[in-house]
Structure 1
Amino acid sequence: MIHKTEAVTSSMLKLALDAASLNHQAIANNIANINTVGYSPVRVNFEEQLDSIRQTLEQGGKVKADMLSGIQPVIERGQPFGDGDRTATLDMETAKLAENTVHYEALLKVMGMRMSMVGSAISEGKR
């Protein structure tokens, strides 16, 4: 049972890191094209794909590995930037970038803690 839980947790963590990395790229593209007339900003579709898993957890169910099989972060195009205030748009994208950076760093910290726990378990098992 612990092995299956470990596999699901590892898969979820990997997907979240992949999504955060892709999100960073998407936001950077949006910032780079902030002054490009007709540019359609991009975003990552990932959180929406987790809705069924959230519902399962809210109902007291367990997440199983097969529930993750179809989940993959993907880039989607949005509506083109309007002729509005580019400074406000740049500020919003910059804030998204900062938020995503903190999110990514938190995921890396969790991964490091998990690896440390696994390493401790292995070390203790050798005694």
Structure 2
Amino acid sequence: MSLLLETSTVSLLNKFLEGTLLEHKLIANNIANVDTQGYKAKTIKTNNNFTALINSLDNSHSSQSAINSIKQWVPEHNIQSDSTASKIELEKELAKLSKNVIHYQAILTAKSKLNNMLTLAIKEGKS
């Protein structure tokens, strides 16, 4: 039954959660090192495949290739340091942390709603 519930949407949501969790850890690490001399803030490099997926939903071929690219994306391989900043700005990091928490909660909500829809479909609409 778990294979049945492992749809492309679930896989993508899991990948988004993985990236969001790593981003949360990086932001927390940035905050912890706010007073460390020479420390450069770290973040996950934006993946253009996420934007491509959103922009190509009408075209099934490019949409599928974008989905496959995202499934293969490894957030840990996309960590980068902010070489332009001379010092970590605490307020900026706290704002990023708040945004990231909201993003994470939204993905969890989407997964829960998808699970509810799949459960309802399996039960054939019966409560």
- Name the TM-score, length of structure 1 as normaliser: 0.77
Map of 1:1-127 to 2, 5 A cutoff? 7-57=7-57, 60-62=58-60, 63-64=63-64, 65-73=67-75, 74-79=78-83, 81-82=85-86, 89-124=89-124
Residue 125 of structure 1, CA deviation: 7.1
C-alpha distance 96-35 of structure 1, shift in aligned 2 (>3 A): same
* Distance in 2 (alpha carbons) for counterparts of 1:81 and 1:46: 18
Separation in structure 2 between the aligned mates of residue 9 and residue 21 of structure 1, nearest angstrom: 18
Change (3 A) 1:111 1:52: same
- Structure 1 runs (4+) greater than 4 angstroms displaced: none
- Partner of 2:56, secondary structure, is helix
Q: Which residue of 2 aligns with 1:3?
A: none
Q: Distance in 1 between matches of 2:124 and 2:54?
A: 35
Runs (5+) with no aligned partner, structure 1 = 1-5
* 5+ long unaligned stretches in structure 2: 1-5
Q: Deviations over 1:48-87 (max 9, x none)?
A: 3424434433xx312225343432223222217425xx6x
Residues 15-39 of structure 1: CA deviation (Å, up to 9, x unaligned): 1111110110010010000111100
Q: State the identity as a percent.
A: 31
Measured in 1, the distance between the counterparts of 2:49 and 2:71 equals: 11
State the distance in 1 between where 2:126 and 2:91 align. 53
Checking the alignment, whether the CA contact within 8 Å between 1:53 and 1:67 is kept in structure 2 is: no
Amino acid at match of 1:61: N
TM-score, reference length from structure 2: 0.77
Alignment RMSD (CA, Å)? 2.6
